[in-house]
Amino acid sequence: MNPYIPLFVIIPFIGFLISLLPSNHQEKIIYRTVFITLLSHFLLLIWVSIQLYFHHNGAIFFEGPALYKANNENFSFHLYMDNQTIIFAVITDFILLLVSTFSKTYLHREKGFKRFFNNMLFFFLGLTIIEFSGNFETLFAGWEIIGIASFLLVAFYKDRYLPAKNAMKLFSVYRVADISLLLGIWLSHHYFKRSINFQELKSLDIIYLGNDHDIYIQAIPFLFLLAALVKSAQYPFSSMLPRAMEGPTTSSAIFYGSLSVHMGVFLLLRTFPLWDDLVIFKGVVIVFGITTSLFATLIARVQSSVKTQIAYSSIAQIGIIFIEVALGFHTLAIFHFAGNAFLRTYQLLVSPAVLSYLIHDQFFHFVKPNNQITDNFWGRLKISIYQLSIKEFNMDTNMYRYLWNPLKWIGRKLRFFQTRKALILCGLYLLVGFYFIFIKKYYAESWLHTFSFIGGLLSLGFIFSAFESRINAKNAWLQIVFSQFLLGQCIALNEQFEIGQLYLFLSGIVFAAILGLIVLNRLEYFGQSILLNKFHGYSFIRPRLGVAFLIACLGLSGFPITPTFIGEDLILGHLHENQIGLTLLISLILVLDGLAIYRIYARLFLGTFENGYNPTAYRSS
Amino acid sequence: MTKHIAFDEDHVLHELKHYLPSQTPLKDFIHHNSLHAFQHNEFFEGIFKASSLFGCKVTLSLNEFRKLHTLGRIRTEILTKTILDKFGEADFPGWLDKVLNKSYDFNILPEVGLFRKNWQRFYHIDLDNAIQPLLFRIIGSYLDQGIALWHFPFEDKGLIAAVKLLEEKSFSSFFKTQRAKNLLFEQNLSITGLLKLLVGKETLFQEYIFDQQFTHRGWSGIVGAIEDNPNSILYPKSVTLKDFIILELLLEIDALTVEFGDNWQPLGQLVPKEPADLFAPIRRTELKEVLILWQMAFEWSYYDEVFAGIISLQKQKKSLPVKDSSQINSQTEFIGIFCIDERECSIRRHLEHVQPHCETMGCPGFFGVEFFFHPANGKFYEKLCPAPVTPKYLIREIESKGVRGHEILFSKKANTMFRGFVITLSLGFWAAIQMVLDIFRPKMSAAISDAFAHMNLTSTLQIEVSTPIVVENGLQVGFTITEMADRVENLLCGIGLSQNFPPIVYAVAHGSSSANNPHHGAHDCGACSGRPGSVNSRVFSFMANHIEVRKILKSRGLIIPEKTQFIGALHDTASDEMAFYDLDLLSPENKLKHNLNVVNFEEALDLNAKERSRRFASIKTNKDIKHVRKSIQKRSVSYFEPRPELGHGTNALCFVGHRQLTKGLFLDRRAFMNSYDYRTDPNGDRLLGVMKPLPIVCGGINLEYYFSRVDNYKMGAGTKLPHNVMGLIGVANSSDGDLRPGLPLQMIEVHDPVRLMLIVEHFPEVVLKTIQSSPEYYEWFKNGWVLITAIHPESNQLYFFKNDQFYPYTPLLKKVNESNDVHVLIDLATEMKTNEIYHATQEHIPVHILN
């Protein structure tokens, strides 16, 4: 039985690779690849599920290869399949099969026909990895893949301003969720002293020792919850969902209407054993669920655009699903997920039809609504709620006001890091630091820790300044690379540490850094400005450079399966759970480096390319 | 276009509205010239002015032209002639080199928007990002026709009044600062007052307003359009562009105050800038000359081919007998009067082929009867005539058996919390099944716009006035006998049908069914204000069948034999299906004939479906014809099909003349065809009546396609796929985007951007007199927005109109393609590889003479 499980991940992966081969106008070949991939996956899934039902009871586990193994460090690719997996996977396959068939005709002759289906299979790969994951590391890999696939699909019409802007907006929030998940994984490593498999999760006896450790085991679910809130667009992250509906209607339907948006629910269900006994945590989930569904329903009521209305209605139902999960009604939650996914997919697919349908309906049944609003407290309250709902309860503006703007403000204050002087000084600091790494046994630990912490601060400084940079992209890119080096050094100095892991981490960085620099140099060579003051849209004339740079970004930001990622993961393992300060520092660096890196990609390769020659869109469209 | 130093608010608003897109809410789609504001200029002058103001592309790009030339689509001989005509022998080599080889700098900095950009330069503030999401949400909710479940409070009071009331009563606010809120409640709230705070210098006010409103031309345009045509929406909203601008100015002040406190200088104080005259004439650059040459060569490469086709066709035929009374011989089984629409061009050809003893004619699809239509149980009227006409009549549907169903999955209740909970858990699973059905077994449903549902097949209409005459809302219910006779006479004499009537005359209107298509109105009949013309064809047939009407007509010399009957019909141009109305009125003898005719119609529809299918990738044209027909029908009800039909794409010609002029010529569905017989009207008395609607209807369609094709981003709606329906009035990309007027990419990709060539069969002097009848009508031709050629009916000499005169034109093309079988042509036609113009244009089949 077990040997089949890897196929569930291998099929999408092979399908994705094959779909990269044809050229854009070979629509039939592209579609067939997608269809065969999905159908074979679906059939295999049904077959295995039936087998599972008759021969085993419960779940099967597959121990995958270890990607990295040394001492007690173990980074393995495990797969797992239980009822939850089956239901989520069946619904995923079913919806994707339908929507891809729908899209075959819908996207005919679109310039991004191939790109769309590549993305869809990439997304499918991410989903199956999540659904079939056997441990958190594997789940995280899938989680990151959908993040990138979402980013690319929001920016599907990359020659317009709003998709570029909203892709970045979505990515920023996703990045917070990713790092939160990563921290959760790190904490659980520390708590359990190893990587836990989902198989053992249910039988895991989590004992509250009543000592310092409790705070960690209790923090783990909160970190997972943050990740789930973001992915499922719950309060206060809801406003990003309608803004993510920039791609073709069909992609909005699968990503934000039905599948991607329910992955938060999946995560909560998966991690339920971890918080089964935490009453306070359940209370928090319920509060978020109630707040979200209340706000989202109100916002949906006042929306005058159809897709936004569907998005908020979907969010409201997911809020209720969160409550169901917290209360332990898991069967109901899964049914609710299925119903919501089908309904929203359908609603979105036919959303353009509402115009003629509702106008026709209005033609025969219109009654002018009674607009009497009583002039008492309730009347005034009603009006206030209306106004707040129109403003989406300030969710979108708050995200700027309380999150991004302060970060940018700090970045502006740290412009010193953009100077050549800063780069040279830090280069020296790095050299000294690496020297220390090799001879660290001769120095006092406390001294090394201080040196390491300062390195961490410098790394943060660079990343802040790169995150806000409006000048040369090469400069910002170098700042990010420096920041990564400082980060590696910071951790290497922190404790006894295998140098091989540092090499692994840095090898990824160096490769990505060089690739990135080559691309930037090519752009300059072609006479293009690489200032980060606006979206340049170079994908339009240099699509290949765009792809190369995207790969460099994936490498530099620690995308799963890249050496950087494994290194990052291992490095995190070296933080002590009592080093709260350092942990927060490093998390912040990781959040910001992702943003700074993709910001460079977005600024250079997304947006409108103006050469006065080809027609371009107005900024507001 | 004078320069306004002192700021005259009303005048500027008037000007602004003139330049903003004037597309009304999508429920009625009326094609119009996207650059109508420039129509008082010569065509190229006007479009380049628009380009320098708004940065839009107004021709294909130089590269595209050059590729088209390499491809042979632009013929070298035509290019040569174009250059020679314009610059003469001496400068020819220089210009040829410029046209073919020289490279140019294409950068243009649109003038509109320059001044307001300075906020970013001098204040480092992105005002658009700061205010647009909220501004669009407010105006969207205010104008919403029925998507939101909760209506904008006080929406009947006017935009600013409603916002005031809201702000007064609410505990929250749209504004972040007290300053903006205080300004809202000031006694003399005005655009000028707010501009003083924002801009300071009065000379710059006009520029600022233009800059500001053109950053979101879609929303501003719709506000202006609704202000001017309140009836363009069903749910009445009182809105003015003035209120909208005031709201935006307040939000701007608010955003600036948030950022800089109360102490910021008006933009005009800080920016050293002289007021610019936006409307000054533009400089002709060499690049523009080159583009003009290319555009003309592109157009004439096609026109020349058509002219050559006409000439050699006429040579083959014996010219029409002068004033022969038996133009329609006694064998004629039936006549079909179709809409002039170029999509009907092919079905007419097929019908004539299937039944050689039939005649087809063309007239604008409202059949000369203008009225409002009141469907049974409807709460509103629908206008069924060309947009500029305001009818005085009302046709009521008295009884209708058709009941329109509901689509449960379209219920807005699914979007509330508790009912949504129940619905997702129950209907959610039905949605899954429905999705499978819709994808694999598409069929007609209430959520699909159905051309035949516009009026039920068996419904009863009140067409004749009752005694006493009823007047409803200022409209006379029904027509009197004389009014009917006038209309029938006008139409029949206009198209030259005054003698030798066959037993049955079909008045075939058209409409279009499509699913998931907010632009469905753009596929319906343009002469019926973007609706199916079924009611018009029935009303016209009723009038022409009326005994009393025939008596009056007889007294005027128009004798319709008793046995001749008129039948209304509707052709669905997307599904290629047809319905006939009031068949029970047919005499037993005609009923038999009709049953035979239906077989002909069916066969013609099959052939038409096959011809259309060549442009659809989902259908193999050479498959069994019934299968092709079925696939065509399926497209019109498929949610996943963004191209149920291709609308007016490819339109380029408009004929006014006898069918003999074009019969036997394969024009690939690119010609509007209006029947007209110069012999019945030697002095051209009726010609103006016939030609009057053509520039506005056909020219409007043609120019909208032209501009949406050359710049689908700025003047078109872009690709359909990400469209989000806003308030049932328009579409936008994304949730924070501007409305997108114009045509979507999927409608225009087959179109070659050429101007409409009107070809009139009459003496040049008569045509000249006709087009010069009124200055505003003459403007279309004089300024070259529509081109016109007269074909001398006796000598068959072509006369092209330019510089206020008709000049003889002799086609350069010597040998016109010939073909024995249309189907071979269709089967062998190229399919476009991409929708770039140089690939797309290869789909067109050249003009052929059919033997």
> Would the CB atoms of B714 and A166 count as touching at under 8 Å?
no
Smallest Cβ–Cβ distance between A301 and the set B61, B150, B718 belongs to B150
pLDDT of res. A186: 81
In a domain, B722, yes or no: no
- Tokens in use for A365? 């049944």
* Final residue of a structural domain among B440, B457, B488: B440
Lowest mean pLDDT among A5-9, B273-277, B418-422, B716-720: B273-277
> Taking 90 as the threshold, does the pLDDT of residue A351 lie above it?
yes
Q: Are residues B497 and B635 in the same domain?
A: yes
Residue matched to tokens 């157009």: B299
> Would the CB atoms of B149 and A162 count as touching at under 8 Å?
no
Residue B790's φ and ψ, nearest 5 degrees, are -105, 140
Q: Are residues B147 and B73 in the same domain?
A: no
Asked if A380 has any chain B CB less than 8 Å from its own CB, the reply is: yes
pLDDT bucket at B148, cuts 50 / 70 / 90: very high
Asked if A611 has any chain B CB less than 8 Å from its own CB, the reply is: yes
B10-19, pLDDT tens digit by residue?
999 999 999 9
Q: If we measure between CA atoms, which residue out of B733, B426, B429 comes closest to residue A345?
A: B429
> Would the CB atoms of B428 and A368 count as touching at under 8 Å?
no
Beta bridge partners of B579: B570
d(CA B112, CA B213): 10
Q: Are residues A423 and A337 in the same domain?
A: no
In a domain, B310, yes or no: no
Q: Are residues B343 and B490 in the same domain?
A: yes
Q: Are residues B339 and B432 in the same domain?
A: no
Q: Are residues A154 and A295 in the same domain?
A: yes
The number of distinct structural domains making up chain B is 4
Considering the entire predicted model, what is its pTM?
0.95
Asked if A30 has any chain B CB less than 8 Å from its own CB, the reply is: no
pLDDT of res. B757: 97
Q: What is the mean pLDDT of residues A225-241?
A: 94
Q: Using CB atoms within 10 A of its CB, is residue B490 exposed (0-12), middle (13-18) or buried (19+)?
A: middle
Q: Are residues B131 and B235 in the same domain?
A: yes
Nearest CA in chain B to A301: B149
The number of distinct structural domains making up chain A is 2
Widest distance between CA atoms in chain B: 89
Q: What is the mean pLDDT of residues A290-314?
A: 95
Instruction: Give the Å distances, CA to CA, from A553 to A114, A475, A488, A519, B78.
Output: 22, 15, 18, 11, 52
pLDDT bucket at A261, cuts 50 / 70 / 90: very high
Cβ count within 10 A of residue B605: 23
> Would the CB atoms of B235 and A362 count as touching at under 8 Å?
yes
Distance from CA of B55 to the nearest CA of A (A): 9
> Taking 90 as the threshold, does the pLDDT of residue A587 lie above it?
no
A535-565, pLDDT tens digit by residue?
999 999 999 999 999 999 998 888 876 777 7
Asked if A85 has any chain B CB less than 8 Å from its own CB, the reply is: no
Q: Are residues A329 and A434 in the same domain?
A: no
> Cα angle at B317 between B314 and B323, to 5 degrees?
90
Q: Are residues B180 and B104 in the same domain?
A: no
d(CA B538, CA B756): 31
Length of chain A, in residues: 621
Rank A121-135, A486-500, B399-413 by mean pLDDT and report only the highest.
A121-135
In a domain, A131, yes or no: yes
In a domain, A517, yes or no: yes
Q: Is B196 helix (H, G, I), strand (E, B) or coil?
A: helix
Q: Is B501 helix (H, G, I), strand (E, B) or coil?
A: coil
- Quote the domain boundaries for residue A128: 2-358
Q: Are residues B260 and B291 in the same domain?
A: no
B14-62, pLDDT tens digit by residue?
999 999 999 999 988 889 999 999 999 999 999 999 999 999 999 999 9
- Tokens in use for B75? 């013929």
Q: Are residues A353 and A244 in the same domain?
A: yes
Q: Are residues B481 and B616 in the same domain?
A: yes
Give the percent of chain B with pLDDT over 70: 98
Q: Are residues B75 and B167 in the same domain?
A: no
DSSP A471: S
Lowest mean pLDDT among A40-49, A214-223, B242-251, B704-713: A214-223
Q: If we measure between CA atoms, which residue out of B834, B648, B647, B720 comes closest to residue A106?
A: B720
Q: Are residues A326 and A419 in the same domain?
A: no
List, in sequence order, every beta strand (DSSP E) within B180-272.
Answer: none
In a domain, A571, yes or no: yes
In a domain, B829, yes or no: no
In a domain, A373, yes or no: no
pLDDT bucket at A583, cuts 50 / 70 / 90: confident
Widest distance between CA atoms in chain A: 88
- Quote the domain boundaries for residue B344: 334-402+445-649
In a domain, B97, yes or no: yes
Give the percent of chain B with pLDDT over 90: 80
Q: Are residues B103 and B123 in the same domain?
A: no
Lowest mean pLDDT among A447-461, A495-509, B808-822: A495-509
More confident position, B593 or A453 = B593
Report the helix count and the strand count for chain A, using DSSP H and E. Answer: 26, 4
Q: Are residues B395 and B381 in the same domain?
A: yes
Q: Are residues B264 and B364 in the same domain?
A: no
> Taking 80 as the threshold, does the pLDDT of residue B573 lie above it?
yes
Distance from CA of B160 to the nearest CA of A (A): 15
Q: What is the mean pLDDT of residues B174-179?
A: 95
Nearest CA in chain A to B54: A618
Instruction: Give the Å distances, CA to CA, from B470 to B381, B395, B479.
Output: 16, 11, 11
Nearest CA in chain A to B719: A110
User: From the candidates B117, B417, B710, which should be mutated to test the interface with A, based on the most A CB atoms within 10 A?
Assistant: B417
In a domain, B785, yes or no: no
Q: What is the mean pLDDT of residues B667-689?
A: 93
Asked if A351 has any chain B CB less than 8 Å from its own CB, the reply is: yes
Alpha-carbon B396 to chain mean position: 27
Cβ count within 10 A of residue B406: 13
Beta bridge partners of B580: B569
User: From the candidates B112, B421, B632, B721, which should be mutated to test the interface with A, based on the most A CB atoms within 10 A?
Assistant: B721
In a domain, A368, yes or no: no
- Tokens in use for B409? 């999955």
Cβ–Cβ under 8 Å, residues B369 and B629: no
> Taking 70 as the threshold, does the pLDDT of residue A271 lie above it?
yes
pLDDT of res. A187: 82
